[in-house]
A and B are shown apart, each in its own frame.
Chain A
Amino acid sequence: MNTGQVILAVGAMVLLSTILLRVNNTFLTSDEVLDQSKYSFLATSIATSIIEQSKNLSFDEQTLGDINIDNPSLLTPVVGLHYDSGEDPHDCNTFDDFDDFNNYTYTDSSMPSAVFVVTCRVDYVPENDPETVSGVPTFNKKITVTVSSPHYMSDVIQLSSVFSYWYFR
């Protein structure tokens, strides 16, 4: 085997190795994309579940017990949007109204795959512009749930929902 043949053989091996690495990379990338979409799917289910749970509660601390309020200034002030006394800020089962979820954070490790970190925020929003945060109480509150998984998801899932006060007379 002369030098030329050796160079050709080495070149062929390098080419083959490059192709193998490229193919392997493609496999891993497609697996990763599928896993990411699985985790995103689960994160979405967690976020919608939190929104559902929050909507099971009263609109406001002042409307507990089916009290009818027709003036938004009677509602909890903006600075009071958080858990109330006697409630555990780490256990949403102790919450009794929608805005108790403001700044609620917990880690969900009950899922069969990744560990998720959930963060909630509740704001008053104007009736005609739910993307804007209102500085005064209104009859509409928006919850924004952010779900992330630092070790598994490269992005975060963020879902929002507006909850409005209503009363059957």
Chain B
Amino acid sequence: MGFTTLIDIIGSMIIGGMVMLLLFRLNDAAAENVYNNTGELIAQENIATLVSILEHDFRKMGYSRNLADFAGVTNLAEIVTIADSDRIRFKGDVDENVGADSVEYYIGPTSEIPNTANPRDRYLYRVINDETPVRVNLGLTHFKLKYFDGLGEQLLPYPVVGGIQRIQIDIAVENVYAYDSERYYKDSTNSQVFWRQIRLSAQNLRNR
């Protein structure tokens, strides 16, 4: 075996090694892509679920099949009884039985979910009347409520008492388990799915 042949073999091994490294990197990138895209798809499905639940309940604000529940109510403070930046309690018949229910939403601290890769996810709590709070982890990282009066002016400070005509709900859901999570979660916008909704408070109480 001559020197030239040896160089050929060494050269081909180096090139072959580089191609192998390339393929390993490609495989890693494909796995990361599939993993994170699936996670993001789940996050989008989760926020759609969350929004449908919130919309269902918020639509019922100030509504009851029992007319006597809201008869003579003109002060919206009687409908929205707690109006904080991350907590709201209102009256509405959400379960379609006879009588208005008390509905409350709030979020828990991040320390409640230490086992997921995402350091920002929190539980969303839903409380109907005096029942035990029901909590769900759908990757919620942001739940912010803003309240506005009839002229579109934001009502401050929190907690807001009375005069609420509109409620702006900002929610963001993130991928709970991302590939290479330490790097991934450094940028919160990487996987965030955002929803901003303006709902009316007690639209059933007014003539049109």
Contacts and interface: CB of A to CB of B under 8 A. Distances in A.
A66 B207 contact: yes
A42 interface: yes
Contacts of B8: 1
B118 interface: no
B80 interface: no
B198 to A, nearest CB: 4
A38 B37 CA distance: 12
Given A30-B33, A41-B44, A59-B208, A111 B196 contact: yes
A101 B40 CA distance: 35
Interface string B176-208: 000000000000010011111111100100011
Contact of B200 (A52, A58, A168): A52
Contact of A55 (B22, B48, B168, B200): B200
Contact of B195 (A23, A42, A166): A42
Nearest to B149: A93
B41 interface: yes
B26 interface: yes
A49 B166 CA distance: 10
B193 A48 contact: no
Nearest to A42: B194
Task: Report the contact-size class of chain B (Cβ under 8 Å from the partner).
Answer: 20 to 34
B37 A49 contact: no
Contacts of A23: 26, 29-30
Contacts of A168: 207
Contacts of A56: 165-166, 200, 203
A71 B201 CA distance: 29
Interface string B79-104: 00000000000000000000000000
Nearest to A12: B19
A53 interface: yes
A25 to B, nearest CB: 12
Contacts of A93: 151-152
Nearest to B196: A45
B47 interface: yes
Contact of B198 (A42, A49, A165, A166): A49
A53 B198 contact: yes
B165 to A, nearest CB: 7
B110 to A, nearest CB: 19
A113 B195 CA distance: 11
Contact of A112 (B166, B192, B207): B192
B196 to A, nearest CB: 5
A31 interface: yes
A26 B33 CA distance: 10
B168 to A, nearest CB: 8
B196 A42 contact: yes
B208 A46 contact: no
A55 B40 contact: no
Q: What are the nearest 3 A-B pairs in CB distance? A: A93-B152, A49-B198, A59-B208
Interface of B: 8, 19, 22, 26, 29-30, 33, 37, 40-41, 44, 47-48, 51, 151-152, 165-166, 168, 189, 192-200, 203, 207-208
6 contacts: A31-B37, A46-B196, A52-B200, A56-B165, A93-B151, A112-B194
